[in-house]
């Protein structure tokens, strides 16, 4: 159930019904939107002050804030000094994902991750939306942080806006779609095969073999 409807149901039950209330669902929705924006402004100010403190102690800490015409934070990017150094050694292949929209402002969290013997954060961003312009801003800001050293390969999901931004900012990069995201869609697109008990086990095994053990495009297509 929508949170506004749930709140209205609780309040109306305490006051004898909706007709006894002096405000509507729209009024409540507008008020919560205003409060959320005010809280976001306070939280962002606190965050930026914290970043300034870190940078004062460690000048290699890098952050950039993009604001809109109303001087409201639109996008935020940051990366620490150790990650900037690590990228020079382990930055050939990176992953970029925005599936972590779990904060209370519903702002996509966009980490840039690499791997040595463990996962390394090469940069983090909070963005207002998942449009081409936002992704371009993140990638260009990140390049500024890592001394314009372009990665060789990038793994992402199949987001069209992300794909377009990568073309613009990284014209020479090899762009791969993440297998995990693809396999999540397999059950939807190939649901009949996965749901039939007599073919499920054999089909799933052959599909994984086709994906993981094919060494060439031709071999993959043949399988």
Tens of pLDDT, residues 135-146: 999 999 999 999
Comparing CA positions, the residue from 202, 221, 201 lying closest to residue 211 is 221
pLDDT in tens, 147-174: 999 999 999 988 999 999 999 999 999 9
pLDDT in tens, 166-214: 999 999 999 999 888 888 888 778 877 776 665 556 787 888 889 899 9
Residues 6+ apart with CB under 8 A from 182: 158
Cβ-contact 75, 126 below 8 angstroms: yes
pLDDT in tens, 79-115: 999 999 999 999 999 999 886 655 556 678 899 999 8
* pLDDT at res. 30: 59
Comparing CA positions, the residue from 192, 197, 194, 198 lying closest to residue 208 is 194
Pairing of strands 119-127, 109-115: antiparallel
Cβ-contact 128, 107 below 8 angstroms: yes
* pLDDT at res. 202: 77
Enumerate the CATH 3.30.420 domain ranges in the chain, comma separated.
58-179
CATH fold for the domain made of 58-179: Nucleotidyltransferase; domain 5 (3.30.420)
* pLDDT at res. 205: 81
């Amino acid at each position: 159930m929508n949170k506004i409807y749930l709140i209205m149901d609780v309040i109306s039950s305490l006051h004898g019904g909706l007709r006894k209330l002096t405000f509507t669902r729209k009024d409540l929705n507008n008020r919560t939107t205003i409060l959320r924006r005010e809280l976001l402004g306070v939280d962002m100010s606190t965050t930026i002050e914290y970043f300034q403190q870190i940078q004062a102690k460690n000048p290699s800490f890098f952050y950039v804030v993009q604001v809109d015409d109303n001087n409201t934070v639109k996008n935020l990017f940051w990366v620490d000094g150790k990650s900037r150094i690590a990228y020079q050694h382990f930055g050939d292949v990176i992953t970029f994902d925005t599936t972590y929209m779990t904060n209370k402002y519903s702002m996509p969290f966009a980490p840039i991750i690499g791997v040595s013997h463990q996962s390394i954060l090469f940069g983090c961003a909070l963005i207002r939306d998942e449009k081409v312009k936002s992704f371009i801003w993140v990638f260009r800001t990140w390049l500024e942080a890592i001394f314009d050293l372009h990665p060789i390969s990038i793994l992402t999901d199949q987001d069209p806006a992300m794909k377009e931004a990568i073309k613009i900012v990284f014209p020479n990069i090899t762009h791969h779609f993440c297998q995990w995201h693809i396999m999540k869609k397999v059950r939807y697109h190939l649901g009949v095969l996965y749901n039939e008990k007599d073919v499920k086990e054999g089909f799933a095994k052959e599909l994984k073999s086709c994906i993981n053990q094919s060494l060439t495009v031709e071999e993959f297509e043949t399988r």
